[in-house]
Amino acid sequence: MSMEHAAIYHDNVPALIRACMETPCMQRLRHVGMNCGCEYTSFPRFAGLEPYSRFDHSVGVALIVWHFTHDEKQAVAGLLHDVASPVFAHVVDFLKGDYLVQESTEDGTRAIIGDDEALQRVLSAHGLVTDDVCDYHIYPIADNDSPRLSADRLEYTLGNLLNYRIRTIGEVGAFYGDLSVGTNEEGAPELVFSDARKAEDFAFASLACSRIYVSDEDRYAMQMLSELLKDAIGLGVLTEADLSTTEPEVIAKLLQNERTAAAWNRCREYHAMRRVQAPEGEGQWRRIAAKKRYIDPLIAGVGRVSAHSAVFRTEKDAFLSDPQNEWLAAEEP
């Protein structure tokens, strides 16, 4: 995340957030990517992406929460929400069979926060304790149930709109500038748009990101990388503990073993996909389902975009109804 990008969210980083950013559990996230290993492949949509780490994302979430709430507990909870993210992030959900829910990567968040002595000193100095900041789900502006709009969902959408070159930084800034805290159908606070056209444009833009998150390339790369990690653990090349280190460290270990190095280099060479109804010929064929995420923003005084826009509702329904039942294989170089 560039400084220009961060400045969209808030014009400065509060001292508490900055101090928490410097702690070991946060610094590790500088070396865990947001694109779940896909950025290491040669697929055109992922190759050459600008660096976008879990650290960048987490700082962005914290600044969004702070901007709209000015509440230290909520902002720090937003900052720390990904501290348990393993290497390659949601690839580990595939490894653990949790890929349709994608919650296993949050396991251990409270313990990590409690064990980071530097972070505990910062929290104590500001009158905060672990329970205040270890579960961002309790703060609706930081997180809420899909398809509502929260700081977490907003940040990775805006970040990816820039990274995938779907929108310009000016357009992203216009989306952000139209938001305020409102009340949703359930009486809970939620980020809402004031302009219906901007809300609808954002909804379509976020749906474009959603399609990428479950694209053939994305699903296949994550599945094959999860199989590589499983094999590496079985061979003793990696341990479960290694998954909580950094991606450069894990890649270095994979490259020390002939079998895992060959598999890693094969993943690196993925550049195009084949999709068929039944496996044919050579290739590592897989049928892969994945979690479908989308955002249905709330327009102040109007309601959800899906109720306001029949076109968006149709496209959203088509996205959700895709059975993801084709067989996929990467083309060999």
Whichever domain contains 202, its CATH number is 1.10.3210.10
275 domain residue, yes or no: no
Residue 277 lies in a domain: no
Q: How many domains does the chain have?
A: 1
User: Whole-angstrom Cα distance, residue 61 to residue 63?
Assistant: 5
User: What is the distance between the terminal CA atoms of the chain, rounded to a whole angstrom?
Assistant: 32
Q: Which amino acid is at 248?
A: P
Q: Is residue 265 part of a domain?
A: no
What pLDDT score does 281 carry?
A: 80
Question: Is 231 inside any structural domain?
Answer: no
Report CA Rg, the chain.
Answer: 20
Whole domain around residue 193: which residue ranges? Answer: 3-215+292-321
Question: Quick check: is 256 in a domain?
Answer: no
Residue pLDDT, tens place only, 71-83:
999 999 999 999 9
Amino acid at 59: V
Confirm whether 147 is domain-assigned. Answer: yes
pLDDT for position 322: 94
Euclidean distance between CA atoms 169 and 174, whole angstroms: 9
Question: In the numeric block, which tokens belong to residue 321?
Answer: 């109804």
**Residue 299 lies inside a defined structural domain of this protein:** yes
Low-confidence residues of the chain, pLDDT below 50? 1
Tokens of 151: 């700081």
* Integer Cα distance of 173 and 179 in angstroms: 10
pLDDT for res 197? 97
pLDDT confidence of residue 101: 54
Two structure tokens written together for 123:
């929290």
User: How far is 181 from 213, CA to CA, in rounded Å?
Assistant: 27
Residue 46 has a CB neighbour count (10 Å cut-off) of 22
Q: Does residue 186 belong to any structural domain of this protein?
A: yes
pTM assigned to the model:
0.95
Quote the distance between the C-alpha of residue 127 and its chain's center. Answer: 30
User: Residues 6 or more apart from 117 whose CB is under 8 A from it?
Assistant: none
pLDDT in the model for residue 96: 86
